Amino acid sequence: MRTIELSPRLHLIGFDFGQAYLWRDADSLTLIDTGTVGSGEVIAEAIRGLGLVPGDLDRVVLTHAHEDHAGAAAEVEAWPGVTVIAHRLDVPVVRGESTAAAPVFDGAPEWERELYANKPALPPAPPARVARELEDDEVLDFGGGARVIGVPGHTAGSIALHLPESGVLFTGDAVANVGGRTTLGVFNTERARAVASLRRLAELDVETACFGHGEPITRGASVALRDAAAAHVAGG
Ligand SMILES: [Zn+2]
């Protein structure tokens, strides 16, 4: 594991596969995504590293239901006082009532298909209880008000979280920053909608962008988001 301080309020928790983020307010602690199954202890360790205890965690916000983001939701939800929050359209998958839709590669580059064929097989996420179902544009009570931005396309219920007060954006898999390149996230169920979602994020005023995969950008992230969006012509 590696835990990286991005700001006094924001830490990245790196797992063997994927990552999550901790947002710390004076009076609450929020986890954004959970990594794969079995990541609960790593998250607990990261929380202890902040001088807190796992029971101090108040909420988990899932950017979407995929197994590398929601995999440990059930583990963390079992801690006292933790509320799991996800967008209404991805909640059935988090609850285990349905399975995630497979990606559709129409319009995607060939390398993306190959990447998918070669990606590690991850264990499915055990069903988790979701205490709160989100709609687009709700504002969550952390980080001075975290706005829920619906970014469908990767999954139907994918969300980003924008904290205008601090200029932080959690993109989930709507955007990636792997290998120093900020790009549309891969493995989308509806690519055209994913591109439209990326464009929406590129309009925001963002200083720090926290991606589902790849290194965070801690300064002037809007530029990288705009460049990523500009790389896609209409519908492509
Ligand atoms: Zn995903």
HSE at residue 204, side-chain half, CA atoms within 13 A, is 27
| Beta-carbon contacts of residue 223 (< 8 Å; ≥ 6 apart) | none
The stretch 139-157 carries a mean pLDDT of 98
- How many angstroms does the Cα of residue 126 sit away from the middle of ligand 1? 16
Six token digits for residue 15: 């797992």
pLDDT level of residue 144 (50, 70, 90 thresholds)? very high
**Domains, the chain, with CATH or none:** 2-97+106-122+129-235 (3.60.15.10)
Tell me the pLDDT tens digit for each residue of 149-202.
999 999 999 999 999 999 999 999 999 999 999 999 999 999 999 999 999 999
Ligand 1 centre and the CA of 64: distance in Å?
A: 7
Q: Give 148's strand partners.
A: 161
Q: Using the mean position of ligand 1's atoms as its centre, give its distance from the Cα of residue 120 in Å.
A: 13
How far is the C-alpha of 128 from the C-alpha of 88, rounded, in Å? Answer: 14
What digits encode the pLDDT tens for the residues 8-54?
999 999 999 999 999 999 999 999 999 999 999 999 999 999 999 99
Residue 49 CA to ligand 1 centre (angstroms)? 27
Tell me, in angstroms, the distance from the centre of ligand 1 to residue 173's CA.
5
How far is the centre of ligand 1, averaged over its atoms, from the C-alpha of 213 (Å)? 9
Average pLDDT of the residues in 55-70: 98
Q: Which pLDDT does position 233 carry in this prediction?
A: 74
pLDDT in tens, 83-130: 999 999 999 999 999 999 999 999 999 999 999 999 999 999 999 999
- Upper half-sphere CA count for residue 113 (Cβ side, 13 Å): 7
CA of 45 to the centre of ligand 1 (A): 24
Looking at the predicted structure, is the pLDDT value of residue 234 above 70?
A: no
CA of 38 to the centre of ligand 1 (A): 17
Question: CA torsion angle for 167, 213, 226, 170 (degrees, to 10)?
Answer: -30
CA of 29 to the centre of ligand 1 (A): 23
**Residue 22, phi then psi, degrees to nearest 5:** -110, 130
